[in-house]
Amino acid sequence: MGKYEVTKSIDVRGEVCPVPDVEAKRAVKKMKPGEILEVWIDYPMSKERIPEGMKKMGHEVLEIEEVGNSEWKIYIKVK
Amino acid sequence: MALTGIIFGIFFGIVLQRGRICFNSAFRDVMLFKDNYLMKFAALVIALQTLTFLLFAQFGWITLNPKPLNWVGNIIGGYIFGLGMVLAGGCASGVTYRSGEGMTTAWFAAMFYGLTAYATKAGAFKPWLDWISKFNVKVEYSTPIYASNSGPTLPSVLHLNPWIVGILFSALLLWYTFGTKTTERHSKMGMKTAAIILAILAPIAWMSSAASGRNYGFGITGGWISLFKGFLAGASVNWEGWLIVGIIIGAMISAKISGEFKLRMPRNPFTYLQVMIGGILMGLGAVTAGGCNIGHFFTGVPQMAIGSILASIFFILGNWSMAWLLYGRD
């Protein structure tokens, strides 16, 4: 199930700042264009910072989905 | 009177949580992610506070009290504090407000930060502080804007009217904020709103703090020391200590309302060790430097205190060094 054909998924819930951002960046660097990364986070600042950082790197942010209490999944399409 | 700190803390905590205000992120993101959003917030709030502080001091509502210049302490302590905040995953205000958001790593960072700050101020590491304090430099002021015997400032060094220097200093920061490109971010509370609220709140908080017998504005390190002193030695908690309690409550309320409160725990328990070491470095560094990112950077730089500017430069250098070591090499 799931909305997107996710190629890779990382769970960075509970990690300290800025580990979610750094892990997400490291993940997309290893991925091929067209692949989709799912980042599962619970840290509010990264929810705002990761999408902008990814856009700046040229990737497409498909959705920031709220999946629970202070938990989100960010879907990123690698360009 | 000390209890009024709790009210200012609640407001401060709400703004910190809503605005995601963390100076560890502000410093680090510029270097690591080329993201200047929070650094711009910092420049803006300092620019505005420079003016509100001068205004309140001109009217005689507060007396500015710049921290002493201490070349040795500001540089060494500042650098250690800068290293520590990256390991701890947040600056002094960052770990304090995130404690209220339910981030368990922030609890450990804050506890070890407070405990080590107390040890440096009055315990095992006190001889170190006594030695550092020998290098304190203060000057005599004749203007009623500054406390008569306090740290040197840009106006005192340049022998110019504080308003002239203050307006130029503020204009320079405003130029950086609005004249250069800002990284996009969609935050619950925009940086302009947060900066304006805090620039007005800060001098009012100073009045309240001064009325309790503590002539300084917002600070964090002294507050944690006071809480530990109260807890371990039965001393009465000061304005700054109550401020900490307020920040945690304010951040908790704000996080609860916006559905962002959650007990967050990292999967790798090693992270707890990392943040505790970070907290220890922060406590030692902040007391050695004579203040943390709030006492020095947020409250001291707007007073144009040389010691605060120097310490802040080394907070940033320490932050960049550790951020590069941990996250920057790939």
Report whether pLDDT(A1) > 70.
no
Pairing of β A71-77 and β A60-68: antiparallel
Contacting residues of B for A44, CB less than 8 Å apart: 20, 101, 260
pLDDT at B330: 63
Cross-chain residue pair B185–A18, CB shorter than 8 Å: no
Pairing relationship of beta strands A36-41 and A71-77 according to DSSP bridges: antiparallel
Q: Which of these, B302, B312, B300, lies nearest to B151 by C-alpha position?
A: B300
**Predicted TM-score (pTM) above 0.90:** yes
Cα-only R_g, chain B? 18
The answer to whether A53 contacts B261, with C-beta atoms less than 8 Å apart, is no
Give the C-alpha separation, B109 to B113, whole Å: 6
B164 Rama sector, left if φ>0, alpha if ψ -120 to 50, beta otherwise: alpha
pLDDT for residue B186: 85
**Is the CB of B35 less than 8 angstroms away from the CB of A52?**
yes
Q: What percent of chain B has pLDDT over 90?
A: 97
Nearest CA to CA, how far is B325 from chain A (Å)? 13
Please determine, for residue B118, whether its predicted confidence score (pLDDT) is greater than 60: yes
* Residue A15 annotated in active site: no
SS3 B220: coil
Of the residues A2, A3, A14, A17, only one is catalytic, namely A17
d(CA B82, CA B142): 35
How many other C-beta atoms can be found within 10 angstroms of the C-beta atom of residue B11?
Answer: 17
Between chain A and chain B, how many beta carbons pairs sit less than 8 Å apart?
A: 77
Contact yes or no for B275 and A16 at CB 8 A: yes
Q: CB-CB: which of A13, A22, A26 is closest to B264?
A: A13
**Which residues span the domain enclosing B231?**
2-328
Q: Is the peptide bond before B68 cis (omega within 30 degrees of 0)?
A: no
- Residue B118 CA to chain centroid, in angstroms? 17
Domains defined along chain A, listed by start: 8-77 (3.30.110.40)
Q: Are A49 and B260 a contacting pair at CB < 8 A?
A: no
The closest alpha carbon to B22, from B254, B298, B213, belongs to B298
**Among candidates A21, A29, A44 on the partner chain, residue whose Cβ is nearest the Cβ of B20:** A44
Q: What whole-number distance in Å separates Cα of residue B327 and Cα of residue A60?
A: 23
- CB neighbour burial string for B290-329, b if at least 16 within 10 angstroms, e if fewer: bbbbbbbbbbbbbbbbbbbbbbbbbbbbbbbbbbeebbee
Total domains, chain B: 1
CB B5 within 8 A of CB B239: yes
B contacts of A17 (beta carbons < 8 Å): 22, 24-25, 89-90, 94
Residue B116 confidence (pLDDT) above 90: yes
C-alpha distances in Å from residue B12, one per residue of A60, B51, B121, B259, B266 = 35, 19, 25, 19, 27
CA distances from B113 to A52, B62, B74, B107 (A): 32, 30, 18, 10
Rounded Cα distance, B265 and B267, in Å? 6
Would you state the pLDDT for residue B187? 85
- Give the confidence band of B63 by pLDDT, cuts at 50, 70, 90: very high
Helix (H, G, I), strand (E, B) or coil at B233: helix
All residues of chain B having their beta carbon less than 8 Å from the beta carbon of residue A43 are 103, 264
Two structure tokens written together for B196: 């304006």
- Hey, are the CB atoms on B89 and A16 less than 8 Å from each other? yes
CB B2 within 8 A of CB B236: yes
DSSP assignment of B267-326, as one string?
Answer: SSTHHHHHHHHHHHHHHHHHHHHTS-IIIIIITTGGGTBHHHHHHHHHHHHHHHHHHHHH
Mutate to test the interface with A, among B30, B38, B184, B326 (most CBs of A within 10 A): B184
Q: What's chain A's average pLDDT?
A: 93
Residues in B touching A19 (Cβ below 8 Å): 89, 327
Question: Is A43–B264 a contact, with Cβ atoms under 8 angstroms apart?
Answer: yes
Enter the ipTM: 0.90
Instruction: Supply the pLDDT for residue A28.
Output: 95
In chain B, which residue's Cα lies nearest the Cα of A18?
B89
Averaged confidence pLDDT in chain B = 96
Closest to B262 (Cβ–Cβ): which among A21, A29, A70? A70
Question: Pick from A76, A8, A25, A73: which is nearest to B327 by CA?
Answer: A25
Q: Using beta carbons and an 8 Å cutoff, which residues of B are at the interface with A? A: 20, 22, 24-25, 28-29, 32-35, 37, 88-90, 94, 101, 103, 105, 183-187, 255, 259-262, 264-267, 271, 274-275, 327, 330
Whether B301 shows a pLDDT value over 90: the answer reads yes
- Helical H segments across A1-79, by residue range: 19-29, 44-56
pLDDT at site B102: 96
Nearest to A52 among B22, B184, B255 (CB): B184
Residues on chain B touching A52 (C-beta within 8 angstroms): 35, 183-186
H helices within chain B, ranges in order? 5-19, 23-32, 37-58, 71-88, 92-101, 104-122, 126-133, 154-158, 162-179, 191-211, 221-233, 239-257, 270-289, 306-327
What token pair was written down for B178? Answer: 């609005």
Give pLDDT tens digits for B137-153. 999 999 999 999 999 99
